[in-house]
């Protein structure tokens, strides 16, 4: 009889841990395992054990005995394998790591940059304590490290102990899977050449039956989900970076995209609180689907495949972090590197190395210097080395940042605290800025800008209509034509120094003005020329990056001027289109309830009721909106304003945006064309209401009464473009979708497409 294999899970009280056993069952483990969950919270350990046993019971023939302990020495004694998934400082520590770097103009993250350094400061000393025990009571054990920042932790373990450790991360597997999906080939049929370090890896080759496919991949980067780095950079380098490289190439963009938003750590605190309540209420025989709320894809993608390959002598190739030992001669011998490793009959073979572009070598070398110096500084308590480490970090650009970071995190430093506006968990009520709206037929003449000089960002048509009505003339007028991120950056650079900015026009002009205000930290006001979108009352900027809409920044207009004469002088179509971005909530609210029921997403009935009230008011005032009366203009603007506040109080735009917006974004991506946002969203809402079986006739009726154009022939979407949008919509949701919706559960069939084509006008 083969001996039982002892696996110890450090950090076994994590609520997602039962997913580990689900994956072991799904991958048909054959050996017998004794698993000890180690943690400090006995209550959670008991909870995890109970769920783990329920999961195991669902697999016939799976031989796993689960126990737990709060005594580390007792748990580790005699271990064959150890999974290290501890999180020192808990999720509160993660929240700190994700927020404090912002005050230095650096995005916060728990593995890269200053946040990763802070995480290492907490984690390394604790992990080394366990290493001392492992050396003494389980010297032959193999540690699979999952604790972040993984390669810094692993380097410290190898540099300051004799523990055998392998680094595991699901990020390479995710990128490879995305590339395989784009190529339409099973990942198992492809050979990926990978090189780098944890969260700093690169695909430098993709072969299928000996043929190099990397050129094809580089030519189709726009189809690659969650790439993160601008395709122009990737094509120039000739290698595909891991998603975390976006922090280095686009740190300003990451900062912009996260500013004013709830950080991941805060989201997880809320999620785990809900999960714990549901798990505590669980009874034997109930489904264990509560576990699906966390995901925990790392178990299936890398942790369990590595464990089973080693423990059960399987043969496979995986991307793992290992000692360099000359594998990459341009890195130190002791460096930790991430490479493809073949495991043959349970034995790790020499990792496979590939040719690496010179600039990629340089970036990896600098990241390596940072990681080694950081680990050594922490273990040796050497502030000078800590300073050198941060100066080597690719996210840190100057010494002032280094000193500020050390003041915040280095032991013994004098702390200087700063006021920071950090959004709270979804559903919380926090004070926030709101714009003041002014209504009048001669409102432009009444505009009051307290600053001495200001700029107007607008478009030529509205500017020609009102330029002589300004009591004070602006220092500069700049015309905007698109919201591509590069164009926004260029626009901001050419604009002279001013003390305030006005966005005059529709959503494009207002968002461009908000971008300038956000970048320069100056006030922004809005003069609404059409009631087409809600940009004048929202807190974010709808920029375009890589063909996709990306909401960035945190900036709210100070004053919003609604000039009836200006608005009524615009084509009625433009003003009617705004109701599409309100009525789409009919679909968004349905998606929200679905997500609440199926994946446990936070839900606010009061917010739902408040939005439904506005849908009723839009229908009641449909004739006024159609005729663009003063009352119709005001109802539309007040709906924009109040729904924006409803969303902000909840913590996201969930009450207003759902699969309807996903349709609209995919239509723009597939066609490369621009549309009136409200009209395109109105079409998307009608299509998705049909998929939801959610009274699409209601939408068609209100569309007719308000006069909004939404039929494909009227908004400029051809039949072929419409069909292509629908055929790719499930793909777009999977890879680029922002929130769970009907598209995660219902496949768009050819019969559904045919039915819609028959209903609509082309």
> Residue 424 has what pLDDT?
44
Q: Is the pLDDT of residue 595 over 50?
A: yes
> Residue 663 has what pLDDT?
96
Read off the pLDDT of residues 632-673 as tens digits, 9 standing for 90 and up: 999 999 999 999 889 888 878 899 999 999 999 999 989 989
> Residue 547 has what pLDDT?
65
Quote the percentage of the chain above a pLDDT of 70: 97
Q: In terms of Cα–Cα distance, which of 251, 256, 248, 246 is closest to 519?
A: 256
CA angle 51, 53, 54 (to 5 degrees): 65
Where does 579-762 sit in CATH, by number? 1.20.1090.10
Q: Is the pLDDT of residue 327 over 70?
A: yes
> Residue 49 has what pLDDT?
97
Q: Is the pLDDT of residue 75 over 80?
A: yes
Cβ pair 624, 631 in contact under 8 A: yes
Q: Is the pLDDT of residue 465 over 50?
A: yes
Tokens of 491: 């626009």
Mean pLDDT of 726-732: 94
Q: Is the pLDDT of residue 621 over 70?
A: yes
Read off the pLDDT of residues 518-527 as tens digits, 9 standing for 90 and up: 889 899 999 9
Quote the percentage of the chain above a pLDDT of 90: 79
Q: Look at 602 and 368; give whichever has higher pLDDT.
A: 368
> Residue 543 has what pLDDT?
83
For the chain, the straight-line distance linking the first and the last C-alpha, in angstroms and rounded, comes to 71
Q: Is the pLDDT of residue 336 over 80?
A: yes
pLDDT band at 422 (very low <50, low <70, confident <90, very high): very low
Q: Look at 544 and 375; give whichever has higher pLDDT.
A: 375
> Residue 416 has what pLDDT?
54
Where does 5-169+265-313 sit in CATH, by number? 3.40.50.720
Read off the pLDDT of residues 479-516 as tens digits, 9 standing for 90 and up: 998 888 888 888 888 899 999 999 999 989 999 999 99
> Residue 427 has what pLDDT?
40
Cβ pair 742, 691 in contact under 8 A: yes
> Residue 600 has what pLDDT?
79
Taking the C-alpha atoms of residue 17 and residue 261, their distance in angstroms, rounded to an integer, is: 28
**Which has the minimum average pLDDT: 127-141, 218-232, 247-261, 283-297?**
247-261
Q: Which CATH class is domain 430-570?
A: alpha beta
> Residue 1 has what pLDDT?
47
Taking the C-alpha atoms of residue 177 and residue 735, their distance in angstroms, rounded to an integer, is: 12
> Residue 432 has what pLDDT?
62
> Residue 426 has what pLDDT?
41
Contacts of 477 (CB under 8 A, 6+ apart): 455, 456, 457, 458, 463, 467
**Which has the minimum average pLDDT: 251-260, 464-473, 531-540?**
251-260
> Residue 601 has what pLDDT?
83
> Residue 541 has what pLDDT?
86
Mean pLDDT of 544-567: 85
pLDDT band at 54 (very low <50, low <70, confident <90, very high): very high
Q: Is the pLDDT of residue 305 over 50?
A: yes
- What does the radius of gyration of the chain's CA atoms come to, in whole angstroms? 28
Taking the C-alpha atoms of residue 215 and residue 686, their distance in angstroms, rounded to an integer, is: 40
Q: Is the pLDDT of residue 580 over 70?
A: yes
Tokens of 228: 């993160």
Same fold, 430-570 and 579-762: no
pLDDT band at 735 (very low <50, low <70, confident <90, very high): confident
- Average pLDDT, rounded, for the chain: 92
Name the phi and psi angles at 552, rounded to 5: -130, 165
Q: Is 70 exposed, middle or buried (0-12, 13-18, 19+ CB in 10 A)?
A: middle
Mean pLDDT of 28-46: 96
Read off the pLDDT of residues 88-104 as tens digits, 9 standing for 90 and up: 999 999 999 999 998 88
pLDDT band at 18 (very low <50, low <70, confident <90, very high): very high
Q: Is the pLDDT of residue 421 over 60?
A: no
Q: Which helix (H) or strand (E) holds 240?
A: strand 240-241
Taking the C-alpha atoms of residue 252 and residue 101, their distance in angstroms, rounded to an integer, is: 12
> Residue 692 has what pLDDT?
97
Q: Could you give the C-alpha distances from 580 to 365, 375, 618, 678, 679, in angstroms and in order?
A: 51, 54, 10, 4, 6
Q: Could you give the C-alpha distances from 357 to 69, 228, 239, 331, 362, in angstroms and in order?
A: 48, 20, 8, 14, 9
Q: In terms of Cα–Cα distance, which of 114, 130, 125, 118 is closest to 92?
A: 118
**Domain ranges for the chain:** 5-169+265-313, 430-570, 579-762
């Amino acid at each position: 009889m083969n001996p039982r294999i002892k696996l110890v899970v450090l950090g076994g009280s994590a609520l997602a841990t039962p997913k580990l056993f689900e994956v072991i069952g799904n991958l048909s483990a054959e050996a017998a395992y004794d698993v000890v969950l180690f943690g400090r919270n006995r209550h959670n350990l008991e909870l995890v054990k109970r769920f783990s046993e329920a999961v195991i019971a669902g697999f016939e023939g799976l031989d796993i005995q689960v126990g737990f302990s709060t005594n580390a020495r007792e748990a580790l004694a005699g271990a064959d394998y150890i999974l290290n998934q501890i999180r020192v400082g808990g999720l509160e520590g993660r929240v700190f790591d994700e927020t404090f770097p912002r005050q230095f103009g650096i995005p916060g993250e728990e593995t890269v940059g200053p946040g990763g350094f802070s995480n290492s400061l907490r984690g390394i000393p604790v992990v080394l304590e366990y290493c001392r025990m492992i050396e003494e009571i389980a010297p032959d054990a193999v540690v699979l490290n999952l604790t972040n920042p993984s390669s810094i932790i692993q380097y410290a373990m190898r540099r300051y102990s004799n523990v055998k450790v392998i680094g595991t991360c699901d990020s390479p597997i995710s990128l490879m899977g995305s590339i395989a999906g784009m190529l339409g080939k099973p990942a198992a049929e492809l050979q990926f050449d990978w090189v780098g370090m944890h969260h700093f890896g690169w695909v430098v080759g993709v072969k299928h039956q000996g043929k190099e496919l990397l050129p094809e991949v580089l030519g189709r980067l726009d189809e690659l989900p969650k790439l993160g780095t601008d395709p122009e950079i990737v094509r120039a380098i000739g290698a595909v970076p891991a998603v975390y490289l976006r922090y280095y190439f686009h740190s300003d963009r990451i900062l912009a995209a996260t500013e004013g938003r709830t950080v991941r750590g805060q989201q997880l605190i809320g999620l785990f609180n809900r999960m714990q309540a549901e798990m505590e209420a669980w009874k034997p025989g109930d489904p264990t689907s509560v576990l699906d709320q966390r995901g925990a894809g790392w178990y299936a993608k890398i942790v369990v495949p590595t464990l089973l390959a080693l423990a059960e002598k399987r043969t496979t190739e995986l991307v793992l972090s290992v000692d360099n030992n000359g594998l990459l001669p341009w890195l130190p011998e002791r460096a930790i590197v991430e490479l493809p490793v073949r495991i043959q009959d349970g034995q790790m073979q020499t990792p496979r190395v590939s040719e690496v572009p010179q600039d990629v070598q340089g970036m990896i070398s600098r990241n390596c210097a940072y990681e080694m110096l950081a680990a050594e500084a922490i273990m040796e308590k050497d502030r000078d080395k800590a300073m050198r480490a941060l100066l080597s970090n690719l996210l840190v650009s100057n010494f002032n940042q280094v000193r500020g970071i050390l003041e915040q995190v280095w032991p013994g430093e004098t702390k200087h605290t700063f006021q920071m506006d950090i959004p709270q968990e979804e559903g919380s009520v926090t004070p926030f800025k709101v714009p003041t709206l002014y209504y009048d037929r001669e409102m432009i003449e009444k505009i009051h800008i307290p600053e001495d000089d200001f700029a107007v960002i607008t478009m030529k048509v509205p500017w020609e209509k009102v330029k002589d009505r300004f009591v004070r003339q602006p220092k500069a007028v700049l015309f905007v034509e698109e919201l591509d991120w590069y164009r926004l950056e260029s626009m901001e650079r050419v604009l002279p120094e001013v003390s305030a900015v006005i966005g005059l026009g529709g959503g494009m002009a207002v968002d461009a003005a908000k971008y300038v205000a956000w970048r320069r930290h100056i006030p922004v006001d809005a003069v609404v020329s059409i009631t087409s979108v809600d940009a004048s009352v929202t807190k974010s900027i709808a920029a375009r990056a890589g063909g996709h809409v990306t909401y960035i920044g945190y900036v709210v207009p100070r004053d919003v001027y609604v000039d009836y004469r200006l608005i009524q002088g615009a084509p009625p179509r433009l003003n009617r289109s705004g109701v599409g971005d309100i009525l789409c909530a009919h679909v968004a609210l349905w998606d929200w309830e679905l997500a609440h029921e199926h994946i446990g997403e936070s839900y606010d009935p009061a917010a739902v009721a408040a939005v439904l009230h506005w849908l009723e008011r839009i229908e009641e005032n449909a004739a006024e909106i159609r005729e663009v009366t003063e009352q119709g203009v005001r109802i539309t603007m007040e709906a924009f304003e109040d729904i924006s506040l409803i969303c902000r109080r909840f913590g996201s735009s969930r009450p207003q945006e759902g699969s309807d917006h996903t349709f609209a974004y995919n239509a723009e991506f597939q066609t490369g064309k621009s549309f009136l946002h409200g009209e395109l969203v109105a079409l998307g809402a009608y299509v998705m209401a049909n998929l939801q079986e959610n009274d699409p006739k209601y939408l068609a009726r209100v569309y007719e009464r308000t006069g909004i154009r939404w039929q494909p022939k009227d908004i400029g979407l051809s039949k072929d473009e419409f069909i292509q949008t629908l055929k790719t919509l499930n793909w777009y949701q999977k890879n680029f979708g922002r929130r769970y919706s009907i598209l995660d559960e219902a496949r768009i069939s050819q019969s559904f497409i045919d039915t819609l084509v028959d209903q609509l006008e082309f």
